[in-house]
């Protein structure tokens, strides 16, 4: 998800050059972010179910809240087309990989 966020940031420049409209640019890239997020959630759910991965309820709860914030920020950014909502969307997109890193670190034995 972190790589996808970087890709969304980078694709913003050519989309802006193509559309010559900052609102349309934000709406297009926000739509791509929403599409990616929904597909990512579905892929993770299917993969964890198929492999029998059981996460602690607290981790699932935090991930769900982050996903809802991403979807909300994406919807707001798509509807409004403002740079501010787009920046909040990008920040929210980075929260999920940051949570993954923290969860991995909590699993490591202390030295």
Structural domain boundaries of the chain? 2-106
Q: Is the pLDDT of residue 69 over 80?
A: yes
Average pLDDT over the chain, rounded to whole? 92
Tokens of 80: 């409004």
Model pLDDT, residue 80: 96
Residues whose CB falls within 8 Å of the CB of residue 43, separated by 6 or more in sequence, listed in order: none
Q: Is the pLDDT of residue 100 over 90?
A: no
Mean pLDDT of all residues in 18-22: 96
Mean pLDDT of all residues in 91-104: 89
Taking the C-alpha atoms of residue 101 and residue 22, their distance in angstroms, rounded to an integer, is: 33
Question: Which pLDDT band, with edges at 50, 70 and 90, does 79 fall under?
Answer: very high
Q: Is the pLDDT of residue 111 over 80?
A: no
Residue with tokens 């802006």: 16
Which whole-number Å values give the CA distances from 40 to 1, 4, 45, 61, in the listed order? 8, 10, 8, 17
């Amino acid at each position: 998800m972190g790589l996808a966020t970087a890709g969304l940031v980078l694709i913003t420049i050519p989309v802006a050059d193509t559309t010559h409209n900052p609102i349309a640019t934000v709406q297009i890239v926000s739509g791509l972010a929403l599409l990616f997020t929904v597909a990512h959630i579905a892929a993770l759910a299917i993969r964890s179910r198929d492999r029998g991965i059981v996460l602690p309820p607290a981790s699932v709860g935090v991930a769900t809240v982050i996903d809802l914030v991403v979807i909300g920020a994406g919807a707001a950014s798509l509807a409004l087309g403002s740079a501010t909502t787009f920046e909040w969307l990008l920040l929210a997109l980075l929260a999920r990989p940051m949570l993954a890193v923290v969860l991995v670190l909590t699993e490591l034995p202390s030295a």
